[in-house]
Structure 1
Amino acid sequence: MKYMQPRPSSIVAALYTARDLGVTVSILHGPSGCSFKHARLLEEDGMKVLTTSLSENEFVFGGQDRLIEVLKYAEKEFKPSRMAVVGTCVSLIIGEDLEAAIEMADLATETIAVDIHAGFAENIDGVIATLEPANRAGWISDEELSRQKDLLKKANEVERLRGAAMKSYIEPSRGDLKHVAAMRLMDLVREGKSGVAIMNAKKETAYMFADILLGLHDAAPDAHVIYSANLEMKGLPKVQRDAERISTELTSRGLSFTSQGALDEYGATGDHLGSWIQNIKPDFALIVGVPHAIPAHYLDGIECFSVTNGPRQVGPLKEQGHAHVMVEVDLHPRTLGVTSIVESEFGAVLRSLV
C-alpha cells in the first residue's frame, strides 16, 4: 500500500533503538536538519545526538573526513559508553563507508555503524539496521536479535490489520471528550459492574499510560476491576529499566496487577490478552496504549474505553467497536527522559470525579 499520510522514519527508529541499547552518543551523518525534532527530543532522554552537518561541498566530494572529525570530538568531549553512527539519505547517495570512518578514527569507545536512510516503507528497517551491528558487536545475543525481529513483524502486522497503516489515509481525530467517557466509566463502577483495566503500551509511553490505571484505582479503589500491565522484565536494557521502575511505582501506590507481556511485546500479546478477557467475562474494559493489538472479536459484548496517543488510531478503533476512544495528546514528548509515572489527562479527569 502507498501511504498518503506521513509515516514513521527509519532513521528516527534507528536513533531510538540506539538509545535502548545504551548508546550515549549518536552521530547523524548528514545535513544538520535531518530528523531534527526527534534528535532534540532524544537529547532530553540522555543521549547526545550530533550531526556532521554535511553541506553542498560534501555532497560532491564526500564527508568521511568530517565524520572522523566529529567521532574524535564526541569521544573526547563526552566520554561515551557506546556510540553509533547513523546514516541518512545523503550518506547513502554519496556512498559513504561508515565502518571505514569508524576504523580510521581509531576510537577506544565501542561504536557501531548503522547504514540506513529514510526511503524504506517501514520504520522497522531502521530498528533492524541498528540491532544487527549491535549483535555483531556483542551488545545483544543471537536469541535477542531473533526475538526482536519477530516482535517487529508482529507489531507491523497489527498496524496493517487494525492500526494507522490499515488505510492509505486516515483522518486524524482527538477522539471522545475525556470527561464524558470518564463519567460513563465511573457510572459503571458505581453500578457494581465488573471490568478489566489493561495497559499494553509501547516502551516509554508506559510512563503515562500507567497513570490511567492508577487514575481508575485512585478514583475507585474498591471497584470490581482486575488490572493487567505489560511489565515483564524482557527486552533491551532501557526497556527493562523502564518496566522495573513503573512496576515498582504501581505497586508502591497500591495497585495490584498481573504482568502480561513486556514493553516491547505490545504487538504480540493481542490473542493472549483477548483470551484472558474472555475468561474473565467483564462488563467493561479499559485498554490503554495499543488497544488495537487485541482483535475485535475478543471484545464482543464488552463496553470498551480505549486510550491511545495516535490521532489516526481513533477511526480504526471506532470501526472495531470501541465505544469510547480518547487520545492523550503530546504523550510521547512528555515521557522522554522521565524515570517516574507522569500524570495523564484521562487519569486526572477520573480522579476529579471522586
Structure 2
Amino acid sequence: MHPRPSPIAAALYTLRDLDVDVIIIHGPTGCCFRTARLLENDGVRVLTTAMSENDFIFGAHEKLEKTLKKVEKMFSPKLVGVVGTCASMIIGEDLKEAVQKANISAKVLTVESHGGFGEGDNTEGAIIVLEEAAKSGLITWKEAERQIKMLKKATEIEKTRGMAQGEYIKPSHGDDKDKVALKFLESLKDNEKVAMVLNAKKETAYLFADILKLPQLNPKTLIIANLRDDIGLPRIRKHAKNIKSELERNGIKIDYLTGGLDEYPITGERVGKILQEEEVEFAIISGVPHAVPIERLNIRSVAVTDGPRLVKPLKELGYDYVVAELDAHAKTLGVDSIVPSDFGESIRKNIEVIHNG
C-alpha cells in the first residue's frame, strides 16, 4: 500500500553494478530523479531523453537516437545502458531499433521495463538487466541465473517478512539508540557471548559494517559477515574486498564468512545456524535483519535496519530492539571505505559510561 522502489530504479542500480559508463533513461526528465542523482555520486553518468506530451502521442524514437549519439560524442563510453520508463514502454517504444539506428561504437544494454512491469516488484527490473548482460556476454548465464535466484528470494523475504506484506506500515525510527547501545555494552560487561552480524546488501554494507569496527571489548565476541569478495558483479565484489581489508587493518578478525553481498537473502539462514551452534546470548544483526530467522532463536537481539517501515515487522518477528539508520543509500554511494553509523556512534559514546559504572 505504500511506495516502494520500482523496477526502473532496480534496473539503474544493477546497470551501475555492471560498471556501465552512462545510463540513458528514456522518459520524462523527472522519472526516477532521486535515483539518477544518487547514481551520479557513484561515478555513473545518468541522462534522460526528456520525453514530453507530444512524445507520448507521436513517439520519441528520434530523441533516443540523438541522445545516444550525443552520449558517444560527450563521454566516449564503452558500455551504455538504455532504460525504459512507464511513458516510453506503454506507448511501445522500440529501444533496440533506436540503438541499431544510432549505431554508436559502445556496447549498449537495453532494458525494456517500467514501474508496473510484471508484478511491479523492483527486482523485475534487475532481472531484465541480468538477462540482457548474459545475452551480451558481459556475464555468464550461470552467474545471471544465480543472481536471479537471489533476487526472487529477496522478493519472497520482503513479501513475507518485510515491508511488502500488503498492509500500510507507519514509519518509525525505532528504539532509542543510546539506550540500546547501553544494553549491548552491559551484555559485554557481564561477559555474555555476543555476536556482531553483518547481513547487508550491496554498498549499504559500508555503513552497516561500522559496528564491526568497534573495539572488541570481550574476547568471546563473534564477527559474522556476508563479505566474500569472490561472488557477485564487479562492483559488489569490490565493496566486499574494501570492507574486509579495512577491518583487517583495524585488527578485526571475521570468524564466519557467510557469503557475498548479493547473497543476503540466503545468508540469513546461515547466520541463524551459527548463532544457535555457538550458543550466542546477545546478537546485533545489521543490514537486512529480517532475512535471519530470529523467531527460532532463544537470544536477546538487536536489529539495525535502514527502513523506518521495517521497524514494526522486525519487532513482530521477535527482535528485542530495533534501530533505524536513515539514508543508508545516500550515505554510501560513491564511497570506498566504512562510514560512521548513528548506532555505531552511540556505542562508542557510551563505552566510557559503562566502564565507569
User: Do both share a fold (TM > 0.5)?
Assistant: yes
Q: Distance in 1 between matches of 2:291 and 2:90?
A: 37
Q: Distance in 2 between matches of 1:202 and 1:106?
A: 36
Corresponding residue number in structure 2 for 1:209: 208
Deviations 1:165-208 (A, max 9, x none): 12421111000000000011001100111111110000000000
Amino acid at match of 1:180: K
Q: Distance in 1 between matches of 2:170 and 2:327?
A: 18
Corresponding residue number in structure 2 for 1:136: 135
Q: Which residues of structure 1 form unaligned runs of 5+?
A: none
Partner SS for 2:283: strand
Q: Distance in 2 between matches of 1:221 and 1:139?
A: 45
Aligned residues of 1:278 and 1:298 also touching (Cα < 8 A):
no
Pairwise mapping of residues 307-318 of structure 1 onto structure 2 (< 5 A)?
Answer: 307-318=304-315
Pairwise mapping of residues 1-354 of structure 1 onto structure 2 (< 5 A)?
Answer: 4-120=1-117, 121-215=120-214, 218=215, 220-233=216-229, 234-257=231-254, 258-299=256-297, 301-354=298-351
Amino acid at match of 1:176: D
Aligned residues of 2:295 and 2:318 also touching (Cα < 8 A):
no
Q: CA deviation at 1:136?
A: 0.7
Q: Distance in 1 between matches of 2:196 and 2:218?
A: 14
Q: Distance in 1 between matches of 2:303 and 2:188?
A: 16
User: What is the CA RMSD across the aligned residues, in angstroms?
Assistant: 1.1
Deviations 1:16-35 (A, max 9, x none): 00000111100000101100
Q: CA deviation at 1:269?
A: 1.5
Amino acid at match of 1:155: A
Q: Which residues of structure 2 form unaligned runs of 5+?
A: 352-357
Aligned residues of 1:189 and 1:223 also touching (Cα < 8 A):
no
Amino acid at match of 2:224: S
Q: CA deviation at 1:305?
A: 1.1
Partner SS for 1:232: coil
Q: CA deviation at 1:352?
A: 1.2
Aligned residues of 1:275 and 1:298 also touching (Cα < 8 A):
no
Cα distance 1:183–1:225, how it changes in 2: closer, same or farther (>3 A)? Answer: same
Q: CA deviation at 1:223?
A: 4.2
Normalising to structure 2: TM-score of the pair? 0.95
Aligned residues of 1:63 and 1:96 also touching (Cα < 8 A):
yes
Deviations 1:114-165 (A, max 9, x none): 0010013211110011111111110110100110111011111111221111
Partner SS for 1:263: coil
- Between the two proteins, the alignment pairs up a number of residues equal to 347
Amino acid at match of 1:107: I
Amino acid at match of 1:315: K
Amino acid at match of 2:168: Y
Q: Distance in 2 between matches of 1:324 and 1:88?
A: 39
Identity %: 47
Greater displacement, 35-44 / 288-297: 288-297
Deviations 1:12-51 (A, max 9, x none): 0000000001111000001011000110000111111100
Normalising to structure 1: TM-score of the pair? 0.96
